[in-house]
Amino acid sequence: MPNPGRAADRSPTVALLVGLVLTLAVVLAYAWYITSQINGLRQLQTELTDRNRRDSLQLLRIQDDLNQLALAMRDMLDSTEPYPLSAWSAQFERIRADLDDALKQQEVVGRARRTPEQSQYVTQSVSQFWDAADRIFALAREGQDAEARTQIRDSLQARQASLSTTVARLLVQNNTAEADVAQQVQEIYDRVQRQVYWFLAASLLAITVTSLFLIRSNRRLFRKLALLSDERRDVAQTLIATREATLREISRELHDEFGQVLTAMGSMLGRASKRVPDDSPLRSDLREIGEVAQGALDNVRGLSQSLHPSILEELGLESTIEWYLTTFQRQSNVAVSYERVGEPVGVDDQTAIHVYRVLQEALANVARHSGATAASVRLRSGDGSIHLEVEDRGRGFSPNGSRRGLGLIAMRERAALLGGTLDVSTIPDGGTRVHLTVPLSSPGAAT
């Protein structure tokens, strides 16, 4: 059966990946669009602006040739000139060759903007001009200079003026085309600029939506983590409390039941041995059995104290620490130095048992893992807190290593339950330091 809460707990990774893919697609599409627009603009500037420039240069060349023709015709009509009209034929031929070449090049570069009628009109006008010029020079070679000059005034100058007017109009048309090209370029810039603004707005919107979604997902995730952390803390507290209650019950059973049984057995063996003659072998056997029973009683009491020291409730934390350090040295052969700093403080049973368990686990790690033969314990009070430090000069320990024992986790959980902190660090000269800090204002500490 599907879990109703699974949709709410689903990871936002898929949605974020989809958003990332869409964002990248939009960016790539927009980059392609901008590139195409810029390429189009560059092509427009290259094809139109450059073509218009070359067209204008050829038109200016044609206009210059026409102006030279006009000056030549003015000189030809000047009666003070000592040269006959036929002498101007060579200059006209030179201008004619240059003008024909300029017209051919201008027709190539200006064909895109010229109508067939305009091109035909220019060609016919030039052809008619040279036909008239040929007739004039023919008259001049026949000696009819007066008639030739009349033809220059009546026909040739008019044709030159018409051609100059046509070329001037073409130059004006080129200027207009340049203005149109500039306007088209500006329109492209404006369109690209508007698209940039739209893209920025869409990008900001997408970033905002994605950020809000991410913030919402993170808040939901952190709420879930906080809830899990609270549940884990409650479970840890319950487990630790259950463990302590179980150990306390087992300790009490060992002390009360087995301890009383062994004590009764010792008493009975003592009374029985008194009834046996001194020289009887049974008396020696009863004494040996009594010693075994006493040893078992001592072991049971030691185990009972180890599971849950009753002196912790009777004498307090500091006395329990002193008793345990003596017992630990005897059982592990690790020399332990103890230092008490600050004024004695009173703590309740819950805080005392957790501090005691941290000390017990820290020294157990020294005996099992460090390889050290000596350790130091310092209990310090002040600033509204109690501090427990356990140091050794063994192999050292990396708290961030891949192997993290349950003992370290349990110590951290106990510190968290008391509202304190546990710091495990490596001493620079070699060894490990475990530092427990418990505020006296914590729920488990006495004020």
Closest CA to 167 of 377, 297, 441, 159: 159
Amino acid of residue 126: V
- 8 A C-beta contact, residue 394 and residue 366: yes
Sign, CA dihedral 133-135-138-143, equals negative
- 8 A C-beta contact, residue 414 and residue 361: no
- 8 A C-beta contact, residue 124 and residue 166: no
For the chain, give every domain's residue range: 9-215, 314-439
Cα(364)–Cα(354) distance, rounded to whole angstroms? 15
Closest CA to 163 of 196, 123, 134, 113: 123
CATH of 314-439, one of 3.40.309.10, 3.90.950.20, 3.30.565.10, 3.40.50.150: 3.30.565.10
Q: What's the pTM value of the predicted model, to 2 decimals?
A: 0.49
- The CB density around residue 430, as the number of other CB atoms within 10 Å, is 13
According to DSSP, the residues that pair with 385 across neighbouring strands are 382, 439
Helices marked H in 45-156 — which ranges? 50-77, 89-110, 116-141, 145-151
Per-residue pLDDT of the chain (447 residues; tens, 9 = 90+): 444 444 445 566 776 677 778 777 877 877 787 787 777 777 766 777 777 777 788 888 888 988 998 888 888 887 776 778 888 888 888 988 998 888 888 777 765 566 777 778 888 888 888 888 888 888 888 888 888 888 888 888 888 888 888 888 888 887 887 777 778 777 877 877 787 788 778 878 877 887 788 788 888 888 888 888 777 777 777 777 777 677 767 766 666 666 667 677 777 777 777 777 766 777 677 777 777 777 777 777 667 666 667 777 777 888 888 888 888 888 888 888 888 888 887 788 788 888 888 888 888 888 887 778 888 999 988 788 889 999 888 776 555 544 456 778 888 888 888 888 898 888 877 788 899 998 876 444 433
The pLDDT of residue 54 is 79
For 40-76, the DSSP string reads HHHHHIIIIIHHHHHHHHHHHHHHHHHHHHHHHHHHH
The pLDDT of residue 21 is 80
9-215 fold: f41 fragment of flagellin, N-terminal domain (1.20.1330)
Residue labelled with tokens 């031929």:
93
